[in-house]
Amino acid sequence: MRKINKKYLITAGFTAAGLLGGYLYWHFIGCSSGSCAITSNWHTSTLIGGLMGYLIGDTLNDFLKKREKKEKEAEG
């Protein structure tokens, strides 16, 4: 069970950071005219940020798994 939690910890952390980043982007920078498809609504900006965070976290998680696998093969 502990291995499963560690497996998704990086992805979950980056997703949470992306959600927060998307919301903060809308709050401080966002599009006030309403013509911007992504940044005119807080929920769209937050979801896109979360999606970007998930993709980055999942990619990083895969990279770390491959590196760990190569290190184990080199040892044994």
Residue 72's CB is within 10 A of a number of other CB atoms, namely: 9
Confidence of residue 16 (pLDDT cuts 50, 70, 90): very high
pTM for this one? Answer: 0.84
The widest CA-to-CA distance across the chain, in whole angstroms, is: 61
Higher pLDDT among residues 28 and 76, named by residue: 28
User: SS3 for 24?
Assistant: helix
Q: What is the rounded CA–CA span in Å between residue 53 and residue 12?
A: 9
Instruction: Report the half-sphere exposure of 60 (CA within 13 A, side-chain side).
Output: 14
Task: Please write the tens of the pLDDT for every residue from 34-74.
Answer: 788 888 899 999 999 999 999 999 999 999 889 989 998 88
Instruction: Name which of 9, 30, 32, 8 is nearest 21 in CA terms.
Output: 30
